[in-house]
Amino acid sequence: MHPKKIVDDFQLMGASLVLDGDDLYIDNPDNIYPELEELAKHYKSRIVTYLKGGYSDKDHNVKQTIDKVLLFMSGVQQDMNPKIEDWLNNDPKALAGVMQLIIDLSHNGWDDCKKPNANYETPETEKISEEIYERAMSYFKRGVTKSG
């Protein structure tokens, strides 16, 4: 999920996310649902980066792609699963990268594959994610898919 969406949702409910260094606070927390607060906690690192002006469209595209791949790997049904499966079956380097990414995120404390991994990202996992993303874009731009 794009951090802008989370920030906007808070504002629509009469609350705001306030940045103090690397700490994130909720102004008027009584105005939001606990579920939205929990969502903000899961995406804290991305929200902080966004509020500091360091979250580009490309960053979002990479992270969104990785989120979809990780959901695929955890067995969550998504419309694009056949395309992801086809790509990973035909790109062993990408598959190896995804496996390494999962291992690294796990070592960083990510222990629930159906929850966002945003707070467990490091410069190393971001580098791996970027490589996976570039391989995916290259594969799909060639139009090479057997399943769709």
Residues comprising the chain, all counted:
148
Q: Is the pLDDT of residue 137 over 60?
A: yes
* Distance from C-alpha of 96 to C-alpha of 42, rounded to nearest angstrom: 26
Confidence band for 47, pLDDT divided at 50, 70 and 90: very high
The residue with greater pLDDT, 97 or 21, is: 97
